[in-house]
């Protein structure tokens, strides 16, 4: 089992109800979050099948997309579209995801 990929799926499940709430306030931000969260999972899956620099490239893209999800959630909270308490679980999962991605992108051979 690839833990980082499983956590990315957990993140998507946690984001889904938030996206339903956010959709009526900022549909463009919802698309951004959905695309970025999907990018995390898809790049992890693709990177797992690659090797060397190509693998690292996919993991780095996943890490950037993870940061994008976090930033977009903070934007939603900043605009008062969502409350901080509503995004707390997703932010905890993003913390875990970030740690896993750091490990994948900073491994020493």
Residue 15 belongs to domain with CATH number: 1.20.1440.60
- Overall average pLDDT of the 54-64 stretch: 97
8 Å CB contact between 69 and 15: yes
Say whether pLDDT at 89 is over 90: yes
pLDDT reading at 1 higher than 80: no
**What's the mean pLDDT in 70-99?**
98
For residue 86, give its domain range: 3-105
Tokens 């994948």 found at: 104
Kindly give the residue spans of alpha helices, DSSP state H, lying in the chain: 3-23, 27-48, 52-78, 84-105
109 confidence band (pLDDT: 50, 70, 90):
low
Q: Are 104 and 4 in contact (CB under 8 A)?
A: yes
Q: Given a cut of 60, is residue 18 above it in pLDDT?
A: yes
Arithmetic mean of pLDDT over the chain: 96
User: What angle do the packed helices 52-78 and 84-105 form, to 10 degrees?
Assistant: 160
Measured CA to CA, the distance from residue 68 to residue 94 in angstroms comes to 10
Q: Please tell me the pTM assigned to this model.
A: 0.94
**Section 58-64 average pLDDT:** 98
Please give the Cα distance from 68 to 29 (Å, whole number): 11
Number of domains in the chain: 1
Question: For the ranges 33-37, 47-51, 87-91, which has the lowest average pLDDT?
Answer: 47-51
Question: What's the rounded mean pLDDT across residues 10-28?
Answer: 98
């Amino acid at each position: 089992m690839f833990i980082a990929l499983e956590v990315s799926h957990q993140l998507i499940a946690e984001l889904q109800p938030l996206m339903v709430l956010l959709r009526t306030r900022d549909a463009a931000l919802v698309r951004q979050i959905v695309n970025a969260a999907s990018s995390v999972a898809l790049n992890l899956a693709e990177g797992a099948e690659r090797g060397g620099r190509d693998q690292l490239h996919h993991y780095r893209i996943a890490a950037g997309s993870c940061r994008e999800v976090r930033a977009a959630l903070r934007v939603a909270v900043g605009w008062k579209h969502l409350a901080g308490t509503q995004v707390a679980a997703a932010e905890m999962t993003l913390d875990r995801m970030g740690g896993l991605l750091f490990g994948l992108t900073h491994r020493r051979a």
